[in-house]
Amino acid sequence: MKCLEIFSGAGGLAKGLELAGFEHVSFVEQNKDACASLRENFDPDLVYEGDIANFYLSALGKIDLVAGGPPCQPFSSGGRHQAQQDSRDMFPHAVRCIECLQPKAFLFENVKGLLRPSFAQYFEYILLRLTCPQCRILNNEHWQEHLTRLQKITLKNYDGIRYDVQCKLLNATDFGVPQKRERVLLVGTRSDLNMKWKFPEPTHSEDRLHWEKYVTGAYWQRHGMAWQKNDALHHLLRQRYGLFEPKGQPWQTVRDALKNVPWPQDAHGISDHVFRDGARTYPGHTGSDIDQPAKTLKAGGHGVPGGENMIRYEDGSVRYFTVYEAKLLQTFPKDFAIVGAWGEAMRQIGNAVPVHLAELLGRKLIALLSRKEALNNHAIRHESSRRPSMSA
């Protein structure tokens, strides 16, 4: 299955899709440091460094999946909240890729802010453009005028390619990522293929983590620590579940993710595990509790007001996450190279899709596309076997 990666960043989504079984045909990314990271971890000849508006799509041939993270600053809670009025809004280019390549499916990721009520009309516009990508915006047509035309589309007045588009807000923590990271996922499947996409169900829960902390003590035992009790949570969980433990697996914590990782100032030989001094706490800037999933790692373009890029120990002390530790919190492979100094590397990591979540979505897409392809091939063979022989 061939995949085009647009707005690739450092390659979190790309790595997950590769692990799931997709073959990348190209990566499109404008940031030079992110491109350097991509070249370190993937085939460097496939990396296009430049504006997606200048990328030649027609040369790619058949593409099964278009995936990427259109820049999220227009919708980010820390940004200027300008959405369609922001020049960094790249969704129109994502639509152009779908229109031109007509892939079997697409997968796009964006920030939770995309679902703000103030953006509702523009979000509807995005969904409708992805649904009917060949209904183009006209010269000098305002997007709201285009939206009105899209809203009136029927089977009778539009015979272009269509996509069944689904969106869902997912928290990566619910799927085994040691980080509270809520993101909007958009998945589209080509309507003529009659595929039914379903988002994965959560596999991990906070209740299960609390159960193992405050009912059984299994969490503390795993880490060789004394049992830290919480009578209120113990009582609440017993009321809720009785003798039956919560289903699934526990949320993964910072301590889980960094188990066996040496102290950064010790001798360890890990090139990107370098101590960075200067971490401080103040009201609203407290860091990530070591025995909870990390806060959402931030790209840092507008600061990290909650101290998201710091670890906070049980005694209240804090320090900055190293690049190596941040990679693990985003579930990158340990040997995945992030190019750049600490601030730039953290920006790339903070912008990435958690690799584990990307792989999970990729495996579901591979299974769906492969199953549909197998059914189509079977139907073709069956139809061929029913045709009368033309021999004398």
pLDDT higher than 60, residue 79: no
Query: Domain extents for the chain?
Result: 2-201+354-379, 204-247, 253-339
Q: Which amino acids are annotated catalytic?
A: 72
Do residues 331 and 356 make contact, with C-beta atoms less than 8 angstroms apart? yes
Q: pTM for the full model?
A: 0.90
Give the integer Cα–Cα distance in Å for 330 and 297. 8
Task: Tell me how far apart the 2 most distant CA atoms of the chain are, in Å.
Answer: 90
Residue in this structure with the two tokens 């030649």, named with its chain if needed: 56
β-pair partners for 48:
28
β-pair partners for 215:
none
Structure tokens at 54: 């200048």
pLDDT higher than 70, residue 385: no
Model pLDDT for residues 247-269, shown as the tens digit of each residue: 999 999 999 999 999 999 999 99
Give the integer Cα–Cα distance in Å for 152 and 357. 36
Give the integer Cα–Cα distance in Å for 91 and 96. 9
pLDDT, mean of residues 317-331:
97
DSSP code for 249: E
pLDDT higher than 50, residue 285: yes
pLDDT at residue 284, rounded to an integer: 84
pLDDT, mean of residues 314-318:
94
pLDDT at residue 156, rounded to an integer: 85
Do residues 350 and 12 make contact, with C-beta atoms less than 8 angstroms apart? no
Most confident of 52-56, 73-77, 79-83, 203-207: 203-207
Nearest 5 degrees, angle CA 221-CA 222-CA 226?
A: 30
Give the fold, CATH level 3, of 2-201+354-379.
Rossmann fold (3.40.50)
